[in-house]
Amino acid sequence: MMTFFPTPYPDEILYSVFARYHERSPNFNGSETARDLFNVKRIVCSLEFPTLLANLVQNMPFNSPFDIDRLIVEHTLFPFYTVFLSPENRGIIRRYMLHGDVEIYNKITGIINPLAENKFLRFCPKCNKEDMERYGELYWHRVHQIRGIYICPHHKIPIYNSSVSLEDNKYKYIAATERNCVVETEVVYEPKTYEKLLIIAEDMHWILNNPEIKTNIKEQYLNQLKKLEYATVNGGLRQKNLITDFETFWGSEILQMTHNTIRKTNNSNWLLKMGWNKANIEDPLKHILLMRFLRLSPDTLFNKNIEYLPFGKGPYPCLNPVCVKYENEIIENVEIRNSYKTKSPIGYFTCPECGFSYLRRGPDKSIEDRYRYSRIVDYGDYWREELMRLLKYNSVPKVAKLMGTSHTTVYDFIKRLNVTKQLNQ
Amino acid sequence: MLDLIHNAQYKEQIISEYKGNPFIEALPEIISSEEVVSKLANFPPYNKEERQLDNQYRAHLVGRLYDVFQPLAIHLDLESRISRVIRQGYVARNVLDKSFVSNNYRSTAGSFTLLGVSGMGKTTVVNRILSMYPQVIVHSKYKDSPLSRYQVVYLRLECSYDGSIKGLCLSFFSKVDEILGTDYYSRFGSGKLSVDNMLVAMSNIAKNISLGLLVIDEIQNLSKSKSGGADRMLNFFVTLVNTIGLPVLLIGTPEAMGVLQGKFRQARRGSGQGDLVFERLDNDINFKLLVNAIWGYQWTKRPTDLTDELIDTLYDQSQGIIDITVKLYALAQIKAISSGVEIITPELIKQVADESLRLVKPMLNALRTGNVMEVARYPDIYTGNIDISYELPNRNRFIIPTTSRPSVVENNEKQIKVKTKKIPPSAENDIRVMMQNKGEGLTAYDILKNHGLIKGFEVI
């Protein structure tokens, strides 16, 4: 049991709280601290998914104000890493963190990239300076320990490795001090690389603090892919375009730094799986790479519904010149189909007033496109009646002009009309 | 454990240094001396009708006398010192203060020593004063920010019978375990650790349970410790005070004086509150107050009024030692009841003193005669050479001068050097002459023997 529990600082990772506890405690070695904290003789000091937290809360001083779920959400990387997981899997990991009795190995391989594992605890020199002034001691920040983060989102400067190796201190919690957080050689990134790394870092920070998805992520991606014409209306991916554009967007340096290089030859490429319904890619970093490539911010991805509207929002105008509602927005819905040849979207519009139906090859480039059609599918009964009426008093070219069509169409129509008349007779 | 625990309630502080310090704000309020008196005093219930009970019952009732506690002026002084020392000690150890967090703070703790003749109720009064404080305070939230920790306001230890450091550490561990439910004794008290490591553990524990005051009783046992043991222990207390800022209160009989006046003299300069000595009471208002307080508890059939003669007799027989005074009065009552006299007279008191206090009689006699040589034979009552020169706390009280400066006043004039001439050996009986004139083949021993300076075995 503990006679005190250090109050965690803002964005302090639990590992660091334990390390500060160890430093203040009379304990001479890590196993005594493990006993104080978790009632076990030995524990692997996990940075990302600490376990046995249920024991921790029980060992805290009487009337302790700390709530286990608040500790997990505010002082571990759980919210960041599990943001794309299903609620069931998230529950399994939470249970593991509480009691440690479930096997989570196959659950976490999907969310943390083993290649990108941090060998050392990491720090931002400016954060440390501020902490020293404000609190009188240093601590390990949660956001700096995320796999694949290179820039401090607060100060926008590079993050450095401390001299504390996680591998060498498996059974010991080591607190941040001015001695183990030393900048030996200053790191400067290329401006282009820096900008991209900063975007990644800021998105990571945003997700860490807003780990709630209100939309269907896969649908969001698909709609955006369709919008940017990396996917067809039916959902087929234009793989070659996607991969080449993605690689040029990020550049090989970033993809190597974040350990997310793409192998073009292999069909098990992670990028192609992102939109595929059956596979699950849950590593948040990969999602950030994709969403930024698709020109999405995490806020839009998580909170705002992305719609695929190659013809804009309804209602759409009726383009029948003789209809009472001509060029009035009256058509509520558009039926989008796939073009066989070009795989571009084709919209079918039908006026409820006159039965006039037209199609347009999309997607619309400008607002004027709304008043354009590629082909008329059906003129509708009203149009035919009006044609008959006008033909009685007018010449064919005039009628064609009035009806917004060509005289051949009118002749065609008369011909077909006569054929049906004869058939009827 | 749970009944000891008090949830912290933070009180508005009047003194600015005490503001914003959760440890001080959680303590009971600072009280006036009137309140201290009413809190310290203990007067057990007494009923006049009990005088009519049968002898055997009344003999038992007399036992109540030992529960009576009459606060005296010196008790108030002690209470105020303890109150100050606890709060002052916490001033620098504010967990919310960043200079404390970064271990870059100046200790505000002071220690003080309470010495007193055995039987003056030192332990009793300290216990009564400490019991006005909750022993364990639990903090969980301070001003909307979580603060989870225990605060142990005081811890009372007894110096082990042989004055060993290990014994002190072990009793510290077991005491903390007892009140907090930790397992420090089994962890640090087992044979694995050396005494030095135990001391490190002890000071760390004291730091993280936010100990307010460490009371070490029976400090005179240090005089029985092995050579160097007392110095090490006292140095350790100084470390506690100066390094981790923990106030220490040492309690002992005058026997401890010898130990404390050794090297601790320097450390004592670090004490902000000076030392306090419980001397025997003089036959003055204080003694009268005490006798008055106990006199009401009378179970003889015939009530006896308190007269000056009775007070003087009691003083003469007890020599102002509180414990003896109360005992004498109680024994006199029992004697009066059992013998059927049913009244207390000076003669009765003298008689009881002669019969029942034979063991302490030589000491009391020594005190009565005032013979210093006699009194000095009993170190636990001998307060003769206590040097209580109160020194004002130094400005730089943590810089203790270790080497005394030469008291030479620098003058422009050169110091006159007096050369002492060597006196050449001349006299016959000078050893140097003997050695110079020594013959060949003679050792120094032989020469000295020949001159009759070394006496042979046969002479004796």
Q: Which two tokens stand for residue A18?
A: 């334990």
**Predicted local distance difference test score (pLDDT) of residue A266:** 57
Query: Any chain A CB within 8 A of the CB of B353?
Result: no
Query: Any chain A CB within 8 A of the CB of B186?
Result: no
Return d(Cα A142, Cα A207) in angstroms, integer: 13
Query: Any chain A CB within 8 A of the CB of B182?
Result: yes
Check whether B426 has a pLDDT greater than 70: no
**Predicted local distance difference test score (pLDDT) of residue B392:** 39
- Tell me what the mean pLDDT of segment B125-140 comes to: 91
* Residue bearing tokens 């390990």: A140
When pLDDT is cut at 50, 70 and 90, the band that residue A77 belongs to is very high
Check whether A325 has a pLDDT greater than 80: no
Q: Best interface-test mutation with A: which of B148, B194, B198, B240 has the largest number of A CBs within 10 A?
A: B148
- Residues of chain B with Cβ-Cβ distance to A62 below 8 Å are 2, 5, 138, 150
Q: Name the residue facing B181 among A1, A7, A64 (closest C-beta).
A: A1
Q: Best interface-test mutation with A: which of B149, B173, B177, B193 has the largest number of A CBs within 10 A?
A: B149
Give the number of beta-carbon pairs within 8 Å between A and B.
77
- Tell me what the mean pLDDT of segment B83-100 comes to: 87
CB count, 10 Å around CB of B377?
12
Mean pLDDT, chain A, integer: 85
- Residues of chain A with Cβ-Cβ distance to B210 below 8 Å are 4
Q: Name the residue facing B205 among A26, A65, A137 (closest C-beta).
A: A26
HEC sequence for chain B: CHHHEEECCCCCCCCHHHCCCHHHHCCCCCCCHHHHHHHHCECCCCCHHHHHCCHHHHHHHHHHHHHCECCCHHHHHHHHHHHHHHHHHHHHCCCCCHHHHCCCCCCCCCCEEEEECCCCCHHHHHHHHHCCCCCEEEEEEECCEEEEEEEECEEEEECCCCCCHHHHHHHHHHHHHHHHCCCHHHHHCCCCCCHHHHHHHHHHHHHHCCCCEEEEECHHHHHHCCCCHHHHHHHHHHHHHHHHCCCEEEEECHHHHHHHCCCHHHHHHCCCCCCEEECCCCCCHHHHHHHHHHHCCCCCCCCCCCCHHHHHHHHHHHCCCHHHHHHHHHHHHHHHHHHCCCCCCHHHHHHHHHHHCCCCHHHHHHHHHCCHHHHCCCCCCCCCCCCCCCCCCCCCCCCCCCCCCCCCCCCCCCCCCCCCCCCCCCCCCCHHHHHHCCCCCCCHHHHHHHCCCCCCHHHC
Cα within 13 Å of Cα(A189), Cβ side: 18
- Residues of chain A with Cβ-Cβ distance to B96 below 8 Å are none
When pLDDT is cut at 50, 70 and 90, the band that residue A18 belongs to is very high
Least confident among A162-171, A205-214, B123-132, B416-425: B416-425
**Predicted local distance difference test score (pLDDT) of residue B397:** 40
Check whether B258 has a pLDDT greater than 80: no
Check whether B24 has a pLDDT greater than 90: yes
- Residues of chain A with Cβ-Cβ distance to B184 below 8 Å are 26
- Residues of chain B with Cβ-Cβ distance to A26 below 8 Å are 184, 188, 200-202, 204-205, 208
Check whether A151 has a pLDDT greater than 90: yes
Say yes or no for a CB contact (<8 Å) between B208 and A4.
Answer: yes
Nearest C-alpha of chain B: how many angstroms from A164? 20
**Predicted local distance difference test score (pLDDT) of residue B416:** 57
Cα within 13 Å of Cα(A169), Cβ side: 16
What is the tens place of the pLDDT at every residue in A375-385?
888 888 887 88
- Residues of chain B with Cβ-Cβ distance to A7 below 8 Å are 145-148
Say yes or no for a CB contact (<8 Å) between A63 and B181.
Answer: no
Least confident among A142-146, A179-183, B440-444: B440-444
**Predicted local distance difference test score (pLDDT) of residue A251:** 87
What is the tens place of the pLDDT at every residue in B320-364?
888 889 989 999 998 898 888 888 889 999 998 888 888 888 888
**Predicted local distance difference test score (pLDDT) of residue A276:** 65
Higher pLDDT, B42 or B445: B42
Check whether B19 has a pLDDT greater than 70: yes
When pLDDT is cut at 50, 70 and 90, the band that residue B262 belongs to is low
- Residues of chain A with Cβ-Cβ distance to B147 below 8 Å are 7, 65
Q: Provide, rounded to the nearest whole percent, the portion of chain A with pLDDT above 90.
A: 24
What is the tens place of the pLDDT at every residue in A84-138?
888 888 888 999 999 887 777 777 777 777 788 888 999 999 999 999 999 989 9
What is the tens place of the pLDDT at every residue in B165-214?
888 889 999 999 988 888 888 888 877 788 888 888 888 898 889 899 99
Closest-approach residue (CA) in chain B for A4: B149
pTM for this structure? 0.80
Say yes or no for a CB contact (<8 Å) between B99 and A25.
Answer: no
